[in-house]
Amino acid sequence: MAKRIIIDPVTRIEGHAKISIFLDDAGNVSDAEFHVVEFRGFEKFCEGRPYAEMPGITPRICGICPVSHLLASAKAGDAIMAVNIPPAADKLRRLMNLGQMVQSHALSFFHLSAPDFLLGWDAPPAKRNVFGLIASNADLARAGIRLRQFGQEVIEILGGKKIHPAWAVPGGVRSPLTEPGRARIRAWLPEAYATTKIALDLFKKTLDSHKKEVQIFGNFPSLFMGLIDPEGNWEHHGGKLRFTDSSGSVIADQLDPQKYLEFIGEAVQPNSYLKSPYYIPLGFPDGMYRVGPLARLNVAEHMGTPKADSEHKKFKKLGRGAVTSSFLYHYARLIEILASIERIEAGLDDPDLLSEELRADAGINSLRGVGVSEAPRGTLFHDYTVDRDGLLKKVNLIVATGQNNLAMNRTVAQIARHYVRGEEIPEPMLNRIEHGIRCYDPCLSCSTHAVGQMPLQVRLIAPDGHLVKEILR
């Protein structure tokens, strides 16, 4: 008879999820699904709040991604006020977003994913984690922790604290960079560059020994979406949207993020609280697209900084057209860390960072505002509708993890079909399936919202453990 194998929970990700593997009568994998089993209703309970409070509320969605929500929310507020923020405020927001890229990507690479390919897929679970990495290579683990600390320092220097800084506001930011703060950031740069080079060299060696994983871990055609600047270069906090396909061809370009509803739809599936966005012209599910580091490097023609441009050229050679293997999200993250450090260094001497001209002041000039920024995990949309008093009537958040939902499902199915034969599955094989999710570095706390009625499952279990009754709503 057909059977279902459940991996619960999926480990070393932010949030709670499980994976179901479905076997046919012959014991072969017929399908696999990624279920997000936590529910959070930020979109609903923000209704009725003043829009100006949102940059202080939405960072509380997550302790890993607070800066991403802070900045996207502030940009939505800018749109409601219909203002162009001062140049200094834009540069300061960008500086904080670069710090966010570094800290989040360092966490993903060193703490969550590296234990698999550095310690070995078959290592015991008790050792296959960041503590095992410390025991195996203390200097590398310390360097990874320090690289993340550098990104957090940038955030704290600007926003006053590393987590949940209430610093960006509709119309600008609250405070500038200070001279001592600039000196602190500059002092970190040599170490940050050195650690990033170590990580890049290490991962290139990993590619030589993990050719099978490159071919199996989420390697399939899809669309890719990300922000680009007017010249088609890598962008993280402005610009327009571009879609490319798996051949590397641009299929839609210079799309206005404010009009995202014209080209991005959201489907709801019964097996997860996570919505499934898709590219409307191709429909659901054919309009599957990926976002995040892999996508951004695929849609960008250049990174815009010398060292990262050199690595970007090497990255591009790993694909025929687009780079389609999700295992290479790890490589893309390291290149983005390098680009972020270079941009931080290049912009540090800008006198605008010390300017006191930080906020544009205006009333309610538009009843709807959309803020779009590149979070570490991918493009983030905050869409607010307000009344004439500035109170929120509707909130829609489209988060990177949701946009990768269809691709994550396809990834776990692809890996499961390769490794699973019959219902007896060794733990290292299950870990490989889990790693398919880690490639995307999902942030489930950010992404779980609901459309329509919230599903409910009630299970009545007898004292001996057997299921007496199950009720679904």
User: Averaged over 83-91, what is the pLDDT?
Assistant: 97
The string of pLDDT tens digits covering residues 196-238 is 999 999 999 999 999 999 999 999 999 999 999 999 999 999 9
Query: Side chain identity at 338, as an amino acid letter?
Result: L
Distances 209 to 117, 136, 206, 330 between C-alpha atoms, Å = 9, 19, 5, 15
The string of pLDDT tens digits covering residues 158-196 is 999 888 888 999 999 999 999 999 999 999 999 999 999
159 Cβ neighbours under 8 A, 6+ residues apart: 67, 70, 96, 165, 166, 167
Burial class (CB in 10 A: 0-12, 13-18, 19+), 211: exposed
462 pLDDT exceeds 60?
no
DSSP 473: -
State pTM to two decimals.
0.89
| 378 within 8 A of 439, measured Cβ to Cβ | no
- Cα torsion angle, 55, 56, 60, 62, sign: positive
Helix locations, 47-178, DSSP H: 54-57, 66-81, 87-106, 114-119, 130-136, 138-159
State how far the Cα of 453 lies from the Cα of 420, in Å rounded to an integer: 35
State how far the Cα of 212 lies from the Cα of 327, in Å rounded to an integer: 10
Three-state DSSP at 126 gives coil
Structure tokens that stand for 373 in this block: 């920024």
| 39 within 8 A of 54, measured Cβ to Cβ | no
Is omega for the bond preceding 277 within 30 degrees of 0, making it cis?
no
**Average pLDDT across the chain, whole number:** 89
pLDDT value for 28: 77
What is the enclosing helix (H) or strand (E) of 284?
A: none
The string of pLDDT tens digits covering residues 327-378 is 999 999 999 999 999 999 999 999 999 999 999 999 999 999 999 999 999 9
Task: Tell me the β-bridge partners of 353.
Answer: none
| 224 within 8 A of 374, measured Cβ to Cβ | no
Structure tokens that stand for 263 in this block: 């080209």
pLDDT value for 454: 36
> ∠299-300-302 over CA atoms, to 5°?
160
